[in-house]
Structure 1
Amino acid sequence: MATSGECTLWTTLCVCFTALHTSAVMVTMRESAIEVVRGDFVVLPCSFFTSSPLSRLNIIWTLAPFSSPQAPIQVIVYDHGQVIEDPSLIGRVAFTGLPWSADIIMNDTRVSDAGTYRCMVNNPPETADAGIGELVLSVLVAPSLPACHWDGDMDTGGSVRLSCAVSEGIPTPEIRWDKLNPEEISLPINMEDDLSGWVQIVNVSTQTSGLYRCSASNLLGTENCYINLSVYSAVAGNSSGILQGVLLTLSMALTLLALLVLILWLHHTGQDGRWRPSKQEEEEGDEGYNEIRYTPSLIKRSFV
């Protein structure tokens, strides 16, 4: 019976014999899917086995972005000892273990780096097709700060709409609305699209007043924005109007009362202070009377 060491040696010899027989490079991807947070670095692994010297080794990495899978781009190439990077990736991508490994490292990862990567290895004089391996890279993004706003009628009986939207987040953030006080209540939300949602509150009352929070969450974290609503009571508005009316009426009554007091005072002054002629006027009156006084002697003399 063969031991485990003999079995391992036999398996290795079989693999080598198969490679020599087929003259093909065998490529192995140690991971089929990898996730990385935007801005971090990531290693994309690609191992290969070849039976020929590595003097003419050729390695090509390509990317089919999620945004345009039908238009793959060349990421980095190793050919006859030279490394060529895509101009848009210079300084952000490099091989890590040449010539024995086809692994590459990417730093400062971006959303545009997400997609399906292919590692193709060819090593002439082997004439068979290049060995190919694939893996999927996902770039994760924390939710952006949501933008909150409201519109509608804040008077009692009106209707108010609360809206919330985020600009980014991978995986797609979960958006929810909650009323925080006087007690926390989760509100049913209507999603406009993956990144925005709204809540409609009808027949608002003073109980509708309070602090509301919109939350956007994914596995990288949560961001919040807030709206403070104050509903105006129609009763309070009428009371204010009534108070203004009372004050106006009181002001008019005081004005009329002042006019009445003035009239009474003038009337009273006219009775107690009747007009009397002055001393000069009395003297002038006496002089006038003297001018026409009766003289009997003159009358008598006129008839003589």
Structure 2
Amino acid sequence: MGCSASWWIQTLCVCFIPLENAAVQVTVRYSRLEVVQGEFVLLPCAFVTTSPLSRLNIIWTLAPFSNPEAPIQVIVYDHGQVIEDPSLTGRVGFADIPWTADIILNDTQISDAGIYRCMVNNPPEAGDPGIAELVLSVIMPPSLPVCQWAGDVEVGGSVTLSCVVGSGTPTPEIQWAKLNPEEISLPVNMEGDLSGSVQIVNMTSATSGLYRCSATNPLGTQNCYVNLSVYSPSESSPGILQGVLLTLSMALVLLALLAVALWLHRTGPDGRWRDAKEQREEEEEEECYNEIRYTPTLMKRSFV
């Protein structure tokens, strides 16, 4: 009987010693996740422990794609208390603490993309904390592109059509096409990831038409347009110009004749300039010269 009891005690000791020294085991169901900007995502993290959960410690960190060398602490569970990063307050929380280390991230932003690390420690279990990683990608549709043109729209000239997209993840693909009379794809010169242009040289009247820039990624397509009108100088333009010049010349001649007439009217036969007073006196003298004056002497002689 004593030997049997001793055997059971030894067996129990052998079984419990590895469990006490075992580290917490941490796993994630997915190594990569993708979420559309503005939606929520569940970041899974499961753990196995043999100790009570009264001293459970869970830490989530993020190494952003934009700055992987500067990881941030997303959320912490320590002795029953939850501490969130101030920049994520109201957007992050544990889904089923303390039974899992899963967290929910709401209203996801592009800045949330990166490598997430889940670390679980549950004293008195020995060993390093259990660690698991997953990669989160935040995608968004392209923003509305902006189309512009610059150059000479006369026949024989050249024009550059440019298209700029503000944002989009994955990076949108930019394409240019002429829509009428039939759709024709045009070669695009990429100027960075979010800008593409098309250069049109030696233009003709057939170059006129509606042009479209498309920005496309897996979430959708956004378009902007340019209506290009190529014109040629009118053949009647020289005749019109000559008519305008002739009209101006005739007007100048009439003005000169009118000035000469006024000058002759204001000068006498001797060519001397007369002021208004002299002109009135001469006009009065002319009127007196043409009058027949009767005096009493003349009247008497008439009746003798």
**2:91 equivalent in structure 1:** 92
**Residues 1:78 and 2:77 are matched in the alignment:** yes
Q: Based on CA coordinates, which of the two structures has the bigger radius of gyration?
A: 1
Which one-letter code corresponds to 2:229 in the other structure?
S
2:17, 2:149 → 1: CA distance? 70
Give the 3-state SS of the residue equivalent to 1:193 in structure 2.
coil
Which one-letter code corresponds to 2:201 in the other structure?
V
Instruction: Figure out how many residues of one structure are paired with residues of the other and give that number.
Output: 240
Pairing of 1:62-211 with structure 2 (within 5 A): 62-211=61-210
Q: CA shift at 1:60, angstroms? A: 0.3
Q: Deviations over 1:89-127 (max 9, x none)?
A: 110000001111000001011111110000000000012
Q: Deviations over 1:169-218 (max 9, x none)?
A: 00000001000111111000000100001000000111110000000010
Structure 2's unaligned 5+ residue stretches are: 1-14, 254-289, 291-304
1:190, 1:18 → 2: CA distance? 68
Contact 1:19 1:50 (C-alpha < 8 Å) held by counterparts = no
Cα distance change, pair 18–200 in 1 and its aligned pair in 2 (3 A): farther
2:216, 2:97 → 1: CA distance? 41
Q: Deviations over 1:126-180 (max 9, x none)?
A: 1210000000001101101101101001111011000001111000000010001
Cα distance change, pair 245–19 in 1 and its aligned pair in 2 (3 A): farther
Contact 1:19 1:25 (C-alpha < 8 Å) held by counterparts = no
1:252, 1:75 → 2: CA distance? 84
Contact 2:177 2:213 (C-alpha < 8 Å) held by counterparts = yes
Contact 2:143 2:222 (C-alpha < 8 Å) held by counterparts = yes
**1:239 equivalent in structure 2:** 236
Which one-letter code corresponds to 2:126 in the other structure?
T
Which one-letter code corresponds to 2:236 in the other structure?
S
**1:32 equivalent in structure 2:** 31
1:32, 1:102 → 2: CA distance? 15
Contact 1:19 1:51 (C-alpha < 8 Å) held by counterparts = no
Moved beyond 2 Å, runs of 4+: 16-19, 238-253
Contact 1:161 1:198 (C-alpha < 8 Å) held by counterparts = yes
1:22, 1:37 → 2: CA distance? 42
Structure 1's unaligned 5+ residue stretches are: 1-15, 257-280, 282-304
Q: CA shift at 1:247, angstroms? A: 7.5
Contact 2:20 2:125 (C-alpha < 8 Å) held by counterparts = no
Contact 2:21 2:126 (C-alpha < 8 Å) held by counterparts = no
Which one-letter code corresponds to 1:200 in the other structure?
Q
Which one-letter code corresponds to 2:69 in the other structure?
Q
1:18, 1:167 → 2: CA distance? 60
Q: TM-score, normalised by structure 2?
A: 0.74
19-28 or 177-186, which deviates more: 19-28
Q: CA shift at 1:22, angstroms? A: 4.5
Q: TM-score, normalised by structure 1?
A: 0.74
Cα distance change, pair 168–25 in 1 and its aligned pair in 2 (3 A): same
2:122, 2:130 → 1: CA distance? 9
Cα distance change, pair 19–32 in 1 and its aligned pair in 2 (3 A): farther
